């Protein structure tokens, strides 16, 4: 039976991760943005809670929670502060002890024994997600010993290496979609509360109705996005093919959340553009755009979907 209702255990985990994320990440979002990172104490607290290793198998040092549970938690992280969540690990599958505990420049040194000719280049300044660092990776005559190839040498023979790399997207795209849903939800809830407080009692009725209608459209798109994300990971947990569904989830959630943030600012008017510690709409607006770009742009997702639907060919 297909059920979208989380179990009691999943609800408990979702709520405790949500509480942690709001108190530790969301409440300090401006500070983390200003320092372009998160303090080590926060990194360690998140690691102790198991964030970032949630969907890794237990024999690989993870918690083996499965992707359905992981997307519930990713949405809570995105709802609190996606930028800081990325600084902790990046969505799910990227979470390793190295990524959790080491700042980017130290990661290169930690990875050195596994490959030669690999270094970290310039750390970029960027529009959003500023609490997490994005750096160029420099491969200069890079050599990876056969024993260190992920999945073993067979997984990289012929075109298999590329296919293996592409397959990781079947997992990571819904995770990115879940985090986008979280940011979109944050903006939507902010705008909803603003409309309630500002117009519910002293309602200029036509305006209240118009704004409520716009909120309804945002809410509808976010719920549809969440359903696509959950379907994609439901298939992945059953080890069924899900490339088309993963791309649908990523493409739709990225755009739905960009729409949510844009509409939320517009609904709140000038208030939506203010930058205070509890006025984060303008930050979410900056953070969300890249969710329609990285992990494959919306256009690329549509190429993948079209190949699967129209020609029946394997995408890529
Ligand atoms: C903050 C951030 C973090 C990132 N992190 C990582 C990371 O951890 N690892 C990693 O590998 N990469 C990462 N990236 C890179 C990211 O995945 C790419 O930027 C993204 O996939 C888009 O590629 P591109 O920038 O080369 O754009 P392009 O591919 O040059 O796209 C430019 C435009 O052309 C369109 N386009 C391209 N091809 C087609 C097509 N066939 N049909 C129709 N339209 C098309 C695109 O949709 C887009 O509108 C990151 C990027 C950012 C901004």
Measure the CA–CA gap between 191 and 222, rounded to whole angstroms: 14
The answer to whether residues 169 and 307 belong to one domain is yes
The answer to whether residues 124 and 67 belong to one domain is no
Report the run of H or E that residue 143 belongs to, with start and end. strand 134-143
Q: Is 24 left (phi over 0), alpha (psi -120 to 50) or beta?
A: alpha
User: pLDDT band at 50, cuts 50/70/90?
Assistant: confident
User: pLDDT band at 53, cuts 50/70/90?
Assistant: confident
The answer to whether residues 217 and 249 belong to one domain is yes
For residue 299, report the distance from its CA to the centre of ligand 1, in Å. Answer: 10
The answer to whether residues 285 and 196 belong to one domain is yes
The answer to whether residues 143 and 169 belong to one domain is no
Cβ density class 57-83: b for 16+ within 10 Å, e for less = eeeeebbebbbbbbbbbbbbbbbbbbb
Which runs of consecutive H residues, i.e. helices, occur in the chain? 8-24, 29-34, 40-49, 67-88, 97-101, 104-111, 160-199, 205-237, 243-268, 281-288, 298-306
The answer to whether residues 135 and 170 belong to one domain is no
The answer to whether residues 184 and 248 belong to one domain is yes
Distances (CA, A) of 50 to 41, 53, 59, 100, 134: 14, 6, 14, 10, 23
Measure the CA–CA gap between 238 and 234, rounded to whole angstroms: 6
What is the average pLDDT score of the chain? Answer: 88
Give pTM, 2 decimals: 0.91
Distances (CA, A) of 121 to 137, 139, 140: 6, 10, 11
Half-sphere exposure at residue 292, Cβ-oriented, CA atoms within 13 angstroms: 17
263 catalytic per annotation? no
Quick one: tokens of 251? 């493409």
**Residues contacting 154, CB < 8 A, separation 6+:** 160
The answer to whether residues 87 and 138 belong to one domain is no
pLDDT at 315 over 70: no
Do the domain assignments include residue 153?
no
The residue whose CA is least distant from atom 31 of ligand 1 is 297
Cβ(134) – ligand 1 distance below 6 Å: yes
Mutate to test the pocket of ligand 1, among 166, 180, 292, 299 (most ligand atoms within 8 A of CB): 299
| Total of domains in the chain | 3
Distances (CA, A) of 109 to 120, 142, 177: 9, 14, 31
CATH number at residue 32: 1.10.540.10
DSSP codes joined into one string, 276-301: BTTB-HHHHHHHHGGGGTTTS-HHHH
Tell me: the pLDDT tens digits for 261-281? 999 999 999 999 999 988 999
The answer to whether residues 175 and 293 belong to one domain is yes
Domain hosting residue 87, numbered range: 8-100
Report the run of H or E that residue 124 belongs to, with start and end. strand 116-124
User: pLDDT band at 23, cuts 50/70/90?
Assistant: very high
DSSP 166: H
Cβ(294) – ligand 1 distance below 6 Å: yes
For residue 289, report the distance from its CA to the centre of ligand 1, in Å. Answer: 12
Cβ(4) – ligand 1 distance below 6 Å: no
Could you tell me what percent of the chain has a pLDDT over 90? 62
For residue 104, report the distance from its CA to the centre of ligand 1, in Å. Answer: 21
Mean pLDDT of 14-34: 97
Do the domain assignments include residue 289?
yes
CATH number at residue 288: 1.20.140.10
Among the candidates 88, 117, 147, a domain finishes at 147
DSSP 94: G
Tell me: the pLDDT tens digits for 134-146? 988 889 998 888 8
DSSP 36: T
The answer to whether residues 55 and 75 belong to one domain is yes
The answer to whether residues 90 and 113 belong to one domain is no
Measure the CA–CA gap between 282 and 277, rounded to whole angstroms: 11
């Amino acid at each position: 039976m297909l059920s979208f209702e989380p179990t009691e255990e999943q609800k408990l985990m979702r709520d405790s991760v949500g509480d942690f994320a709001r108190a530790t990440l969301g409440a300090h979002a401006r500070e983390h943005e200003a320092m372009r990172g998160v303090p080590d104490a926060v990194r360690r607290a998140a690691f102790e809670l198991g964030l970032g290793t949630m969907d890794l198998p237990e024999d690989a040092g993870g918690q083996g929670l499965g992707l359905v549970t992981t997307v519930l938690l990713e949405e809570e992280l995105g709802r609190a502060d996606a930028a800081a969540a990325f600084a902790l690990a990046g969505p799910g599958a990227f979470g390793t002890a190295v990524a959790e505990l080491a700042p980017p420049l130290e990661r290169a040194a930690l990875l050195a024994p596994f490959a030669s000719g690999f270094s970290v280049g310039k750390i970029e300044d960027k529009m959003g997600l500023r609490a997490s660092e994005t750096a160029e990776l420099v491969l200069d005559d890079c050599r990876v010993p056969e024993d260190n190839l992920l999945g073993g040498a067979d997984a990289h023979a012929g075109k298999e290496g590329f296919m293996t790399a592409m397959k990781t997207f079947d997992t990571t795209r819904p995770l990115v979609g879940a985090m986008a849903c979280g940011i979109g939800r944050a903006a939507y809830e902010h705008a909803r509360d603003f409309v309630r407080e500002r117009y519910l009692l002293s309602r200029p009725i036509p305006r209240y109705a118009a704004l409520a209608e716009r909120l309804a459209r945002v809410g509808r798109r976010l719920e549809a996005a969440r359903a696509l994300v959950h379907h994609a990971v439901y298939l992945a947990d059953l080890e069924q093919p899900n490339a088309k569904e993963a791309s649908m989830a990523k493409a739709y959630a990225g755009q739905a959340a960009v729409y949510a943030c844009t509409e939320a600012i517009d609904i709140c008017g000038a208030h939506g553009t203010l930058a205070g510690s509890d006025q984060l709409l303008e930050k979410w607006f900056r953070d969300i755009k890249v969710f329609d770009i990285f992990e494959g742009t919306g256009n690329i997702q549509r190429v993948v979907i079209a190949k699967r639907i129209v020609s029946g060919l394997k995408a890529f």
